[in-house]
C-alpha cells in the first residue's frame, strides 16, 4: 500500500531534477552572452524562450514546483530578451548617428546601411512581439526604429500608445506630426504641430530645419505657425 501510494514520487522527482539541470545549463550559457554580438545573443535567448515554453506545455499540471520553476525562467528570459532588443536598437541607431528616444529627423534614407536596416527590422519584429512592452520608453524606441526603416504605420501606432501614457507630450506630438506628413495626412500633421508650438515655442525654430516638413513649407497654415 505504501509503495503504491508513493509511486508518483519517482516520476515527479525525475522531472523536477531534469528541469533544475536544464535551467542550470541555460544559466551557464547566459554567462557567455556578454562575449557574443547582440544579434547572436538574441538568437540564443529566443531558442531558450522557445524551450521553456515547450517544457511548460509538456509539464503536467500537478507538478506545481516544476511549472513554477519553468515559469520563472521563462519570465526572466523574456525580460532579458526585451533588454537585448532595447540595447541593440539603441546601439544601431546611435551608430548611424540617429537620435535614440528623441525628435525624429527627416532625410534619413541614406543614413542606414542595408545591414543596419536588416538588423533593425529583426529587432523591431522581436520587440513588437514582447508581451512586456508597456513602458513609454520602450514604445518610443520601437516607434523611432520603425520610422527610420520606413514602417510609418507601425511607428504611428507605437506613438499613439505612448501618447495615451503621456498625454500632450510635446516630443511625441512633434514626432506624430512628422509621421503624418510622410503619410500624406497634412491636416492631422499641422494640427499636431500647432499643439506642439502652443506648448513650447522652441519647436517653431526646430521645424524650420527639419526636412520632414519640406512638403508643407509653402502651405500658408505652416507659414503662420512658424512665423
Q: How many CB atoms lie within 10 A of CB 55?
A: 20
Q: Kindly indicate the confidence band of residue 62, based on its pLDDT and cuts at 50, 70 and 90.
A: low
User: For the whole model, what pTM was predicted?
Assistant: 0.74
In tens, the pLDDT along 67-88 reads: 788 888 888 888 888 888 888 8
Over residues 16-37, the mean pLDDT reads: 54
Residue 59 is classified by DSSP as S
In tens, the pLDDT along 85-106 reads: 888 888 888 888 887 667 887 7
Pairwise CA distance, residues 161 & 133, whole Å = 11
The verdict on residue 55 lying in a domain is: yes
Residue with more model confidence, 164 or 37: 164
Average model confidence (pLDDT) across the chain: 80
The verdict on residue 122 lying in a domain is: no
The verdict on residue 121 lying in a domain is: no
Pairwise CA distance, residues 30 & 34, whole Å = 8
The verdict on residue 56 lying in a domain is: yes
Residue 25 has pLDDT above 70, yes or no: no
Over residues 33-44, the mean pLDDT reads: 72
For residue 46, what pLDDT is reported?
85
For residue 65, what pLDDT is reported?
76
For residue 33, what pLDDT is reported?
47
The verdict on residue 32 lying in a domain is: yes
Residue 150 has pLDDT above 50, yes or no: yes
Residue range(s) defining the domain that contains residue 46: 8-95
The verdict on residue 87 lying in a domain is: yes
The verdict on residue 51 lying in a domain is: yes
The verdict on residue 83 lying in a domain is: yes
For residue 216, what pLDDT is reported?
92
Helices 114-128 and 38-58: angle between axes, nearest 10 degrees: 30
Over residues 175-189, the mean pLDDT reads: 93
Residue 35 has pLDDT above 60, yes or no: no
For residue 28, what pLDDT is reported?
46
Residue 189 has pLDDT above 90, yes or no: yes
CA distances from residue 178 to 4, 78, 101 in whole angstroms, order as listed: 71, 32, 15
Pairwise CA distance, residues 30 & 201, whole Å = 48
The number of folded domains in the chain is: 1
Residue 107 has pLDDT above 80, yes or no: no
Amino acid at each position: 500500500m505504501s509503495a503504491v501510494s508513493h509511486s508518483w514520487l519517482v516520476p515527479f522527482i525525475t522531472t523536477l531534477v531534469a528541469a533544475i539541470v536544464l535551467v542550470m545549463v541555460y544559466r551557464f550559457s547566459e554567462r557567455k552572452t556578454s562575449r557574443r554580438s547582440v544579434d547572436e545573443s538574441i538568437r540564443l535567448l529566443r531558442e531558450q524562450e522557445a524551450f521553456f515554453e515547450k517544457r511548460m506545455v509538456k509539464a503536467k499540471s500537478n507538478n506545481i514546483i516544476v511549472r513554477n520553476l519553468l515559469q520563472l525562467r521563462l519570465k526572466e528570459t523574456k525580460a532579458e530578451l526585451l533588454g537585448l532588443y532595447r540595447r541593440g536598437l539603441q546601439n544601431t541607431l546611435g551608430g548611424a548617428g540617429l537620435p535614440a528616444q528623441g525628435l525624429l529627423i527627416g532625410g534619413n534614407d541614406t543614413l542606414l546601411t542595408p545591414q543596419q536596416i536588416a538588423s533593425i527590422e529583426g529587432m523591431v519584429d522581436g520587440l513588437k512581439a514582447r508581451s512586456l512592452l508597456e513602458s513609454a520608453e520602450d514604445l518610443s524606441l520601437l516607434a523611432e526604429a520603425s520610422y527610420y526603416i520606413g514602417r510609418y504605420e507601425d511607428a504611428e501606432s507605437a506613438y499613439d500608445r505612448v501618447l495615451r501614457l503621456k498625454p500632450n507630450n510635446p516630443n511625441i506630438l512633434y514626432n506624430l506630426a512628422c509621421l503624418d506628413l510622410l503619410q500624406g495626412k497634412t491636416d492631422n500633421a499641422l494640427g499636431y504641430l500647432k499643439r506642439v508650438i502652443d506648448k513650447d515655442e522652441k519647436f517653431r525654430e526646430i521645424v524650420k530645419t527639419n526636412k520632414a516638413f519640406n512638403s508643407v513649407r509653402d502651405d500658408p497654415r505652416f507659414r503662420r505657425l512658424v512665423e
